[in-house]
Amino acid sequence: MISSSSCSFLSNSAVAGSRSFCGGARKGHSSPFRVVCLAPSNDRNGSVVLDSPAKKEQIRNEPTSPPAEEETVSSGGPQDVYGEDKATEDQFVTPWNVSVASGYTLLRDPHFNKGLAFTEKERDAHYLRGLLPPTVIPQETQVKKMIQHVRQYQVPLQKYMAMMDLQERNERLFYKLLIEHVEELLPVVYTPTVGEACQKYGSIFMRPQGLYISLKEKGRILEVLRNWPEKNIQVIVVTDGERILGLGDLGCQGMGIPVGKLSLYTALGGVRPSACLPITIDVGTNNENLLNDELYIGLKQRRATGQEYAELMHEFMSAVKQNYGEKVLIQFEDFANHNAFDLLEKYRSTHLVFNDDIQGTASVVLAGLVAALKLVGGNLADHRFLFLGAGEAGTGIAELIALETSKQTNAPLDEVRKNIWLVDSKGLIVSSRKESLQHFKKPWAHDHEPVHRLVDAVNKIKPTVLIGTSGQGRTFTKEVIEAMASINEKPIILSLSNPTSQSECTAEEAYKWSQGRAIFASGSPFPPVEYEGKAFVPGQANNAYIFPGFGLGLIMSGTIRVHDDLLLAASEALAAQVSEENFEKGLIYPPFTNIRKISAHIAASVAAKAYELGLATRLPQPKDLVKFAESCMYTPAYRSYRQQE
């Protein structure tokens, strides 16, 4: 056996950042075991050497006779559109090599396994002969095979499990499949199916994903972070599981959300999978079913609150900064609103933090509204907004609309807020309720008599835009939609709550009850609807449009703090991606098919704004930020492995 550090290509820093699964292999298997190095390796100029696209094509066409390994060209860097994934690292070129075990262990390492795509030469070089059936198939064929495999399942959760299984076996194939079939597979790895997966998380997973930090680890969180095998982390998505989609407190089982969001960071935004870290903070759960379930995987105690909660979170935030530095992005996801706003407020000036439910959602909805104005006319200031739901998503969106309107009109924020109304579980938010309101609702308490029912609020406020962020399914009733349609020629109706079961109305209901006049989008996807012989394609208003590109923009520019203007920049970039063809179909969001291109534009716009505000630390500023963003993106094509001499 040769230890990983004996690889002559490995510099000290590369050793620190490399994955070595040698230890596991030693314990588990007695198969031949040696160190191999992956191309890329470094040429003398410090640039990364990769196989050329032409050579990759040759491999595809002639899988049984791979070209000589010496035929390599320089790649990576800004010219290499979607070519390599190194540019999101801290230095422009990071000299690294990775050591992996060969043989049986290599096949069981999801980061490096290629399955039947291992070439004849690789099979010889890496002790794989006999461990695989004799056929060699290219990655493209593997993708075709896998999509057929996923499609054979009728039950969404089975499709989800097939995808997770693939992710655990062959990471690059997982991402290639997801990228190439993004419209079809997004509802499988993300909402709505991820909601059901979280509900059943404890029983469907054989192998833990991500990092669990519970109250038991108090005082030792830095130690726990150091147990994670990757060192160069760029994005952490963290939840405490208290508000998972619209499904409530799922405790430790909320882990499905950070895992799913981070797979979108990679597939949609091109952030390297090894730079992504899903974390669940387990402070207990108030979900009685879970507390009484002997198979529940989390802490069986009621949720810690107050000082105990704050101390654990503070230790976590400090440990993250200590371990990964100032520039790691921490995305808060699906915290309950009584913690979410406070955490964002507390850490926004000391850490690079972003709350997806408050800020990402706001940015995506503002983009959809700006696009919708092209269909309905007028400026933001000409419209009146009514929300069902005044929590993270509702007040986050409301605040960004107000900010943008105020910038456009030079009117004070307090003045423009008066055009925006919110309804919570107790009715319309009005000034007579102000004393008892949570702090994030107070700015929305306008003078009005109390109104209890949504339909009455619609008839009294006469909104042009109705937005559902209540987490309560079927609350946009026939009466409500008909009222919107009687007030507006083209009512804008957004049912943002997830998963599908919690959507305020279905696409079919929105079109049917508005006689085909609604401009509709929903948080979870609905299939196209036919109404009176006309096809309607509903859009998906989901923060998945924003956070991957937004995060990439922060990372590639080395931005150290999130500023509201960055959210506006992301929003503007997304709205600009809606084409005439999309508008003709009534769409206010572009299709997800082009999401990597969209993400590159969002990233560029966010980075440009960060440079303008002096928040970006990566200097000099690249000239063409879109190209730079594209060059930073991870691509899941297999790499050629070569043996160490």
190 is catalytic: yes
DSSP 433: G
Classified as helix, coil or strand, 67 is: coil
Cis preceding linkage at 258, omega within 30: no
Query: Interhelix angle for 256-269 vs 182-189, to 10°?
Result: 160
**According to the binding rule CB under 6 A, does residue 357 interact with ligand CC(=O)C(=O)O?**
yes
Catalytic residue, from 104, 160, 175, 190: name it. Answer: 190
Q: To the nearest whole angstrom, how small is the minimum distance from the Cβ of residue 190 to ligand CC(=O)C(=O)O? A: 8
- List the single partner that 391 binds among ligand CC(=O)C(=O)O, ligand NDP, Mg ion, none, CB under 5 to 8 Å by kind: ligand NDP
What strands, in cross-sheet order, belong to the sheet with 352-355? 211-214, 276-282, 235-239, 329-332, 352-355
Identify the CA nearest to 263 among candidates 191, 365, 313, 354: 191
C-beta of 257: minimal distance to ligand CC(=O)C(=O)O in Å?
Answer: 7
Q: Which of 261, 327, 441, 609 is catalytic?
A: 261
Phi/psi for 352 (5° steps) reads -85, 90
Cβ closest to ligand CC(=O)C(=O)O, residue 129 vs residue 338 = 338
Beta bridge partners of 520: 493
Q: Which helix H or strand E contains 525, and what residues bound it?
A: none
Q: How far is the CB of 543 from ligand CC(=O)C(=O)O (least distance, A)?
A: 5
Angle between helices 182-189 and 156-169 (to 10 degrees): 100
Name which of Mg ion, ligand CC(=O)C(=O)O, ligand NDP, none residue 571 binds, using a CB cut-off of 5 to 8 Å depending on partner kind: none
Q: Please, what is the minimum distance in Å from the beta carbon of residue 331 to ligand CC(=O)C(=O)O?
A: 10
Q: Is 543 in the site for ligand CC(=O)C(=O)O (CB under 6 A)?
A: yes
Binding mask 480-509 for ligand CC(=O)C(=O)O (x = CB under 6 A): ------------------x-----------
Is 42 known as a binding-site position? no
Q: What is d(CA 95, CA 118) in angstroms, rounded to the nearest whole number?
A: 25
Residue 366 contacts ligand CC(=O)C(=O)O per CB under 6 A: no
Cβ at position 470, least distance to ligand CC(=O)C(=O)O in Å: 12
Cβ proximity to ligand NDP: between 544 and 608 the closer is 544
Nearer Cβ to ligand NDP (278/389): 389
Which three-class secondary structure state does DSSP give residue 618? coil
Pick one of 10, 37, 245, 283: the residue that binds ligand CC(=O)C(=O)O (CB under 6 A): 245
Point out which residues bind ligand NDP (CB under 6 A).
243, 245-246, 337, 357, 361, 388-394, 423-426, 469-472, 475, 496-498, 502, 523, 541-543
Q: Is residue 230 part of an annotated ligand binding site?
A: no
CB of 637 to ligand NDP, least distance (A): 30
User: Any residues with CB less than 8 A from the CB of 470 and at least 6 apart, and which?
Assistant: 246, 388, 389, 394, 425, 497, 504
Q: Residue 355: enclosing H or E segment and its boundaries?
A: strand 352-355
Does the annotation mark 327 as catalytic?
no
Q: Nearest approach, Cβ of 636 to ligand CC(=O)C(=O)O (angstroms)? A: 24
State the DSSP code for 301: S
What are the C-alpha distances in Å from 492 to residues 55, 497, 564?
50, 16, 25
The reply, when asked if residue 180 is annotated as ligand binding, is no
Indicate whether 240 belongs to the interface with ligand CC(=O)C(=O)O (CB under 6 A): no
For position 606 contacting ligand CC(=O)C(=O)O by CB under 6 A, the verdict is no
> What DSSP designation does 47 have?
P
Residue 419 in the binding site for ligand CC(=O)C(=O)O (CB under 6 A): no
Least distance in Å: CB of 370 to ligand NDP?
A: 16
Contact flag: residue 253 with ligand CC(=O)C(=O)O (CB under 6 A): no
DSSP H or E run through 60 = helix 53-61
Convert 400-415 to b/e letters by CB count within 10 Å (16 or more is b).
bbbbbbbeeeebeeee
Residue 282 bridge partners (DSSP): 214
The CA distance from 363 to 544, in Å, is: 11
Roughly what angle, to the nearest 10 degrees, separates helices 171-180 and 139-151?
70
Do 280 and 258 meet the contact criterion of CB atoms below 8 Å apart? yes
Q: What number of residues does the chain have? A: 645
Point out the residue whose Cβ comes nearest to ligand CC(=O)C(=O)O. Answer: 498
Query: Should residue 521 be labelled a site residue for ligand CC(=O)C(=O)O when binding is judged by CB under 6 A?
Result: no
Q: Residue from 142, 285, 503, 542 that binds ligand CC(=O)C(=O)O (CB under 6 A)?
A: 542
For residue 192, cis peptide bond before it (omega within 30 degrees of 0) = yes
Which residues, at least 6 apart from 85, have a Cβ–Cβ distance to it below 8 Å? 270, 272, 632, 633, 634, 635
- The verdict on 356 binding ligand CC(=O)C(=O)O (CB under 6 A) reads yes
Q: List residues binding Mg ion (CB under 5 A).
A: 333-334, 357
Contact 185, 174 (CB under 8 A): no
**Binding residues among 60-79 for ligand CC(=O)C(=O)O as defined by CB under 6 A:** none
Q: Which residues of 88-99 are buried (b: 16+ CB within 10 A; e: fewer)?
A: bbeeeebbbbbb
**Does the protein bind ligand CC(=O)C(=O)O through residue 405 (CB under 6 A)?**
no
C-beta of 54: minimal distance to ligand NDP in Å? 41
Q: Is 193 in the site for ligand CC(=O)C(=O)O (CB under 6 A)?
A: no
Is 333 annotated for ligand binding? Answer: yes
Which residues contribute to the annotated binding site for a divalent metal cation?
333-334, 357
> Which residues have a catalytic role annotated?
190, 261
Which residues contribute to the annotated binding site for (S)-malate?
243, 498, 542
Name the residues that contact ligand CC(=O)C(=O)O, by CB under 6 A.
Answer: 191, 245, 334, 356-357, 498, 523, 542-543
Which residues contribute to the annotated binding site?
243, 333-334, 357, 498, 542
